[in-house]
Amino acid sequence: MRSISERSSPVVETTYEALREALNGNAFTRGERLPGERELARRYGVSRATLRQALAQLAAEGRLMPHPQRGWFVASAGVLSEPPAVLQSFSEMAQGRGLRPTARVLGQKVRAATLDEAERLGIAPLSAVLDLERLRGLDDVPVCLDRSVLPLARAPALAELDLTDRSLFEALAAEAGVRIDHSAYALQACAADPEQAAALGIDPGAPVLVGDEIAFDEHHVPAMLARVVYRGEAYRFQTTLFRPRR
């Protein structure tokens, strides 16, 4: 997914595309340190200011990682990094970084909504919901436990679908005409309980990041609840912060 600013100059965009092609073509391996900015600027025939804009965009997309003293590094395998202000499914994040998303369904059932779920989804208490729990991975390496709860009335076809390796965002749009538009997202650091640790291949008590989300459709109607438990070393959340105007 392209997200480079439309206000960027043509030379910045050309440099961005050249660097992205080099990354996609495995000119640099994951975790490798890139040549210095002076060398890269010479190689691509641009100024260092132009180069830095292109590098910063690739870092915002999770393809590169800057280090204040050591320069720029290719993002390591098994690390997901959400671009600022961009809502993506797990599959989209993985594929955007050249990784293969994998999944194993741990549970897929229809049940009655709890009072809390009904309130957050804006449905009647005890309404039917689809409860889907999957172990998600990158190239078969476990990365997170993903549990989603959806109002069954909005997407009844999903109850019978094989959702092993399918994006829920894509399935909702294709099978129910529900398009996820935005979400309310909260992230918290926790310690893995024994069940989470066993699934993710980590020690009990190891750090995990827990993301709780309410996803809304284009009409601002709640469409899905999600709770994702990430291995602490496999997920990075980025955002853009602004100072209030005075």
pLDDT digits (tens, 9 = 90+) for 37-93: 999 999 999 998 899 888 888 877 777 877 766 788 887 555 555 554 567 777 777
128 shares its domain with 143 = yes
Residue 233 in any domain: the answer is yes
* Domain membership of residue 64 as a residue range: 10-74
125 shares its domain with 214 = yes
pLDDT in tens, 201-232: 999 999 999 999 999 998 889 999 999 999 98
* Cα distances (Å, whole numbers) of residue 91 to 58, 183, 196, 230: 19, 17, 21, 15
Residue 2 in any domain: the answer is no
pLDDT in tens, 123-154: 999 999 999 999 998 887 888 999 999 999 99
Residue 112 in any domain: the answer is yes
219 shares its domain with 111 = yes
195 shares its domain with 179 = yes
Task: Classify the C-alpha dihedral 172-177-179-183 as positive or negative.
Answer: negative
Q: What is the mean pLDDT of residues 179-190?
A: 89
Rounded-to-integer distance, Cα 80 and Cα 82, Å: 7
Considering only residues 55 and 100, tell me which one the structure prediction assigns the higher pLDDT: 55
Residue 42, domain CATH: 1.10.10.10
Alpha helices, H only, the chain: 10-24, 37-44, 48-60, 90-96, 115-121, 168-176, 194-200
Give the residue from 74, 92, 125 where a domain finishes.
Answer: 74
131 shares its domain with 170 = yes
Quote the radius of gyration of the chain (alpha carbons, Å): 20
The answer to which of 23-27, 60-64, 196-200 has the lowest mean pLDDT is 60-64
144 shares its domain with 209 = yes
Give the residue from 24, 52, 74 where a domain finishes.
Answer: 74
Give the residue from 74, 109, 127 where a domain finishes.
Answer: 74
Tally the domains of the chain.
2
* Interior/surface letters 161-188, b for 16+ CB within 10 angstroms, e for the rest: eebeebbbbebbeeebebebeeeebeee
51 shares its domain with 99 = no
Predicted local distance difference test score (pLDDT) of residue 89: 76
Rounded-to-integer distance, Cα 82 and Cα 88, Å: 8
70 shares its domain with 84 = no
Residue 144 in any domain: the answer is yes
Residue 214, domain CATH: 3.40.1410.10
